[in-house]
């Protein structure tokens, strides 16, 4: 795809994932060329899992999938913004809607989000 430079950053580009309607930032993930191609082909968000060292479609385990509505490429061609319809209760594997559910205030970390699902019920089937 013209405009994305996967080689610039070792084969992976960071992807900011945002709720299409609310604008809430849901997560940060990474894509390689294969994840990019599957995302374009299917309309669902695919990523490269650095912790599992494998390609995965968001929601394939949890059922909390992401339908891609818009894709933006940054000016340097080395990062992406996906605007998605988040299906299911949350994007975060820890049970929150957003992975960004903690805030640092005066040097202390505070949880500001509420859990929307129990990850044990979703991932330990």
Q: Which of 71, 68, 67 is nearest to 79 (CA)?
A: 71
Write down the domain spans for the chain.
7-123
- pTM for the model: 0.90
Rounded to an integer, the average pLDDT of 22-47 is 97
Residue 122 sits at φ, ψ, to 5 deg, of -90, -45
Sort 15 into a burial class: Cβ within 10 Å, 0-12 / 13-18 / 19+. Answer: buried
pLDDT (tens digit per residue) in 55-106? 999 998 889 999 999 999 999 999 999 999 999 989 999 999 999 999 999 9
| Average pLDDT over all residues of the chain | 93
Higher pLDDT, 1 or 12: 12
* 8 Å CB contact between 98 and 25: yes
The architecture of the domain spanning 7-123 is Roll (3.10)
Q: How confident is the model at residue 51 (pLDDT cuts 50, 70, 90)?
A: confident
β-strand partners of 28: 16
pLDDT of residue 52: 87
Share of the chain above pLDDT 90, in %: 82
pLDDT above 60: residue 1: no
Q: Beta-carbon neighbour count of residue 107 at 10 Å?
A: 5
Share of the chain above pLDDT 70, in %: 98
* 8 Å CB contact between 112 and 102: yes
């Amino acid at each position: 795809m013209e405009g994305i430079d996967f080689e610039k950053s070792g084969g992976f580009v960071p992807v900011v994932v945002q709720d299409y309607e609310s604008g809430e930032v849901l997560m940060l993930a990474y894509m390689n060329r294969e994840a990019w191609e599957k995302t374009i082909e299917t309309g669902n968000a695919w990523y490269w899992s650095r912790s599992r060292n494998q390609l995965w479609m968001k929601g394939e385990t949890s059922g909390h999938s992401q339908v891609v509505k818009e894709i933006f490429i940054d000016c340097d061609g080395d990062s992406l913004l996906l605007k998605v319809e988040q299906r299911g209760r949350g994007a975060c594997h820890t049970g929150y809607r957003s992975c960004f559910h903690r805030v640092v205030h005066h040097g202390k970390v505070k949880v500001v989000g509420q859990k929307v699902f129990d990850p044990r019920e979703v991932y330990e089937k």
